[in-house]
Structure 1
Amino acid sequence: MPFAPFAGVNHHGQSILLGCGLISCEDTETFTWLFEAWLSCMSDSPPLSIITDQDRAMQKAIENIFPTTRHRWCLWHIMKKVPEKLAAFKEREGIISSLLSAVYDSLSFDAFEEAWHCMITEYDLWDNDWLNGLYEERHRWVPCYLKGYFWAGMSTTQRSESMNAFFNGFVNSKTNLKQFVKQYENALRRKAELEWQADAKCFSKRTPCVSRYEMERQVEEVYTISKFKEFQE
């Protein structure tokens, strides 16, 4: 059965497991059940934001069960399709370059709209259904439309996929349901241990400052070690 993990990020930047489900299929009805069950386990507190791939069945379920949640599409999955979707165009290199610039370099809605319009006009892409579909849903994946929301540093579903890789050390396709429950608890215990170790390190060690700014010393006192190193960089 497909394993559906809910992955998040803790205060050390580590991937954490917020829950999971075993599902029999991947349609809207199944995802609706999955999200309702998970919401019940979370004391009816929906997530502020959620990142998924472009699965339409999942999108419908999210809209129904998490109406206040900001839903984002995985940027990596979208950009991975670009070479394939534009392979037939003679000027594909120019189109891809313009597309990447519009997505990653636009700091405002207007800047993206202008860059996108210039790309579509220059290469006469008005009838391209794939690009038109992406444009219609731009608020779900273009960074400048999403920067006002908290994403814990994430723009892709990489955390969820890395969680799948993490579980490969505990379960496999031959694991039966009884073994799965036991191994799932072992995996959770391992995740908790990693967080406890990081907590202990933060309380027992100090990270040297690299400047004389008072601001850096203040941040070092309140941030975890991993987040403080990000701040320094």
Structure 2
Amino acid sequence: MEFKDLKDIFDFYKKYAYAIGFPIKKRNLKKGDDGELRYVTFTCSREGQRIGNSSGSFKLQPTIQMGCKARISASSDVHGVWRINKVHLDHNHETSPSKSRLYRCNRELSSHVKHKLEVNDLAGIPLHKSFNSTVVEAGGYDNLSCIEKDCRNYVEKVKRLRLGEGNAIAIQAYFAKMQTQCSRFYFSMDLDDESRLQNVFWADNRCRQAYKKFGDVVTFDTTYLTNKYNMPFAPFVGINHYGQSTLLGCGLLSSEDIDNFVWLFRTWL
């Protein structure tokens, strides 16, 4: 089977997996000698084996990984046409079409549900009541493409993005003031599609000079949380010649997802 791009293959396999009743994931993406993406493998999410702690000193967490071999592999030619060249359909576990909508790869919030959740949150309506209202409107749980956890995660992310109009303006004004006082002060503010403040990065001249001298080893940690919005604080830290920590730059993230980390690291570079 041939496809015009990678997305078409993924959507095809995802639709098949939905009908059979198993979750999928991207397993391997490889580039050719020309630097272009040429090889890809999509597998059942229960592929692989998680290596546990043999000492037993910690309680092992449950896992869905059980070595399932179901997968498809594909490659593209010089014209960008993708062709499936390997297929394995058998699973070593039961599949369930009735549970397909609950798998993470299939769950999503419609624009209507997102808007309703935001409005209800601003009105002070508890999340569980908003979700129950969405269930009733959809005609039951089976007609929803999301679960309550997805709604809660979305509302929490929106709260971080909202960040208070006054706070976002205050941050920008403060950074602009710092830049007039120190020409080497650098900052960048990342906005989402609705022009809401999403991520922030800044580094003053002291941080930038410290990196030149102590940038051999840089640590990065987002385990810190700050203010009522619980936005992860992301400091870049180095070690000076006294063995002490020295700040090399700072960031605030709306959430710890791939896109935000990519933005932060590129801005840092």
Q: Which has the larger radius of gyration?
A: 2
Higher relative contact order (CA 8 A, sep 6+): 1
Larger relative helix fraction: 1
TM-score of the two chains, using structure 1 as the length reference: 0.23
Larger relative strand fraction: 2
